[in-house]
Amino acid sequence: MGKKHVFNAGPCLLPQVAIDNTIEALRDFKGTGVSLLSISHRTKGWDEVMDECRALWKELLCIPEGYEVVFLGGGASLQFLMSSMNFLEKKAAYLETGVWAKKALKEAQGVGEAFAVASSADKNYSYIPKGYVIPKDVDYFHITTNNTIYGTEIREDIDSPVPLIADMSSDILSRRVDVSKYNLIYGGAQKNAGPAGVAFAIVKVDALGKVSRHLPTMLDYRTHVDKLSMFNTPPVVSIYVMNETLKWLKGLGGIDAMHAIDVKKAETLYAEIDRNSLFIGTAAKEDRSIMNVCFVMAPGREDLQDEFMKFATGRDMVGIKGHRSVGGFRASLYNACTQEDVDALVAAMQEFEKLHA
């Protein structure tokens, strides 16, 4: 069996070294003679993993003083609710750029007054809205920086006149972020930061505790800040893999080195989509994501979609089928995806074009 080229949108491809090191810990965690699967989170040595993981987040993203990193269950979907409960007092503004942004807004509307300042739904979320005005009388402005289904991305930190909250589930650790511009950055780990089963939240501590509503203990960020993410039993295995993934990223040279690699991968694939007569990109060129590359068959060649899927699968491509809501194809180029993987997909596209020229 040949090498598989994995483009899954999530859970995603992970660095092989992180997988290998986790396998060893599954056999024996830090010489305890007990599997990582069976240890207590109070086991000697687990605190070291938690401390190292938090420290790596802070180092890699240059997180300033006054912020803490917490690890939580429930994925980003729970963060839609948790973020609004902790920060929405009167009203909040959202930028609606896709399904996940819309779901975040829906959860906030169950907490208080929340509305979209702009939406790209009119063109099936194929672009990032421009020219909108962020109201100055809202508690916060919420954005989803990368839209996995549609292949669009906000690739720079925006300047907001009000506190900024961002779901960075699918592009965290792929570019440098000015964390000081945000009150909260959150996301599921299963794109760039680790496996499914744990979410991260980077929170400005002195912004907490400002709402008047009662916060259930588990939905109060202060609970997890105060207890170092161990108020309840944390997702031990998922955090361990996350820590190994962050160590791998640091070993590559950190965020700037990773960003250069990610940009090159995306440019390689977009160049082929733009050149190849059989394919066309679906996202506005100025808003194209470097994480999720979405494309379809060119007009008049739609009948080849199933054939190309079969063709690519036969050449060891995994996970390029587009989301069920949009169809077509999607290649997710998260950090652990390699240039070799992208080159293999490009070669398959070129070979398929020659067969149908």
Active site residues: 100, 167, 191
Q: Give dist(CA 151, CA 154) in Å, integer.
A: 11
Contact 234, 218 (CB under 8 A): no
Q: Which helix (H) or strand (E) holds 5?
A: strand 5-6
Beta strands (DSSP E) in 97-167 are 113-119, 141-144, 146-147, 152-153, 164-167
Does a cis peptide bond (omega within 30 degrees of 0) precede residue 161? Answer: no
Contact 112, 78 (CB under 8 A): no
Selection from 301, 291, 302, 300 nearest residue 331 by Cα: 291
* Sign for the pseudo-dihedral over CA of 62, 256, 49, 202: positive
What token pair was written down for 320?
């390029």
The encoded tokens of residue 180 equal 């000081």
Tokens of 150: 């549609």
Instruction: State how far the Cα of 151 lies from the Cα of 291, in Å rounded to an integer.
Output: 8
Q: Using alpha carbons only, what angle is made at residue 10 by residues 9 and 12, rounded to the nearest 5 degrees?
A: 95
In terms of C-beta density within 10 A (0-12 exposed, 13-18 middle, 19 or more buried), how is residue 77 classed?
Answer: middle
Burial (CB count <10 Å: 0-12, 13-18, 19+), residue 152: buried
Please name every residue paired with 330 in a beta bridge, in sequence order, or none if there are none: 294
- Quote the tokens at residue 18: 């992180």
> Which pairing describes strands 199-204 and 184-188: parallel, antiparallel, or unpaired?
antiparallel
Distance CA 61, CA 136 (A): 28
